[in-house]
Amino acid sequence: MARGGISKADVEQARMALIARGENPSIDAVRIEMGNTGSKTTIHRLMRELDETRGDLSSAQVDAELNSLVSRLAGRLKEQAQEHIDVAQASMDAQKKELQDELEKTRRQLADLIERHAVQTTKLGTQTATLLSTQKELQDEHRTNVRLTQAAQDSASRLQDKDEQIRLLKEQHLQSHTQCALLQERLHNAQSENKKLQERLTERDQQNRVLELILIKTEVALENLREAQGITDATAED
């Protein structure tokens, strides 16, 4: 057994495997083939010993060894290939099962969607009929609103006219009130003047009465005077 835990048989097997694959059996390639075990010095030494030993072997022995190695490698490759196939088959079976489950789930979802679509279609038909009815009602409401709006505008116009009439009446009432106040003031002034005039007339009546008395007294005096004068004239003639 050589240092590093590798043997000449291990080196030979690794090198023959490389040769069988058509690869160059270098020291590094042999070491990698053996799983990166053993030192390069040991591998080189064992490879050199193998070469020296192989020189003494007959070509028939070499062919036999090579065939044996190829058979072992083929068996290993077949086993590895079968393992890969088994793993791939298991993976494919799992994927197939998963796809079948997913397909079944999709089918159920599709059936549910079809049922929901049918329900939605029925509901949509009902909603469409309701919408058409609502649209007709809205159109009727719109026409009614147009009429009401026009009526409101007409009422507002008439109300504005009424307000203008009220404003004019208020102005007229204010003017009438002002005129009434002026008339009342004039009436009061006229009454005051009339009172003064009545007082003056009363005073004048009194004065007239005094004058009438004076005139009567004067006429009486004159009459007395005439009578006296007549008597005097009569006496003088006698």
Higher-confidence residue of 71 and 196: namely: 196
Q: Quick one: which of 19, 18, 20, 21 has its CA closest to 31?
A: 18
Higher-confidence residue of 2 and 27: namely: 27
Question: Which position has the token pair 């009727």?
Answer: 140
pLDDT of residue 197: 87
Residue 10's alpha-carbon distances to 6, 26, 46, 53, in angstroms, are 6, 14, 10, 15
Q: Average per-residue pLDDT in the chain?
A: 84
Separation of alpha carbons 101 and 88, rounded Å = 19
Residue 168: both structure tokens together: 């004019």
pLDDT at 147 over 80: yes
Q: Is the dihedral of CA 52, 55, 58, 63 positive or negative?
A: positive
pLDDT average, residue stretch 172-189: 85
Q: Report which DSSP code applies to 174.
A: H
Amino acid at 235: T
Q: Quick one: which of 224, 220, 201 has its CA closest to 212?
A: 220
pLDDT of residue 36: 92
pLDDT band at 56 (very low <50, low <70, confident <90, very high): low
pLDDT of residue 44: 94
pLDDT at 222 over 70: yes
In angstroms, what is the C-alpha Rg of the chain?
77
pTM of model > 0.85: no
Please, how many CA atoms are within 13 Å of residue 114, restricted to the half-sphere of its CB?
A: 5
Question: Which position has the token pair 């509901």?
Answer: 123
pLDDT of residue 64: 62
pLDDT of residue 3: 45
| pLDDT tens-digit series, residues 73-92 | 677 777 778 888 888 888 88
pLDDT average, residue stretch 36-49: 91
pLDDT band at 1 (very low <50, low <70, confident <90, very high): very low
Q: Give the burial class of 82: count Cβ atoms within 10 A of its Cβ; 0-12 exposed, 13-18 middle, 19 or more buried.
A: exposed
Separation of alpha carbons 13 and 154, rounded Å = 115
Separation of alpha carbons 191 and 197, rounded Å = 9
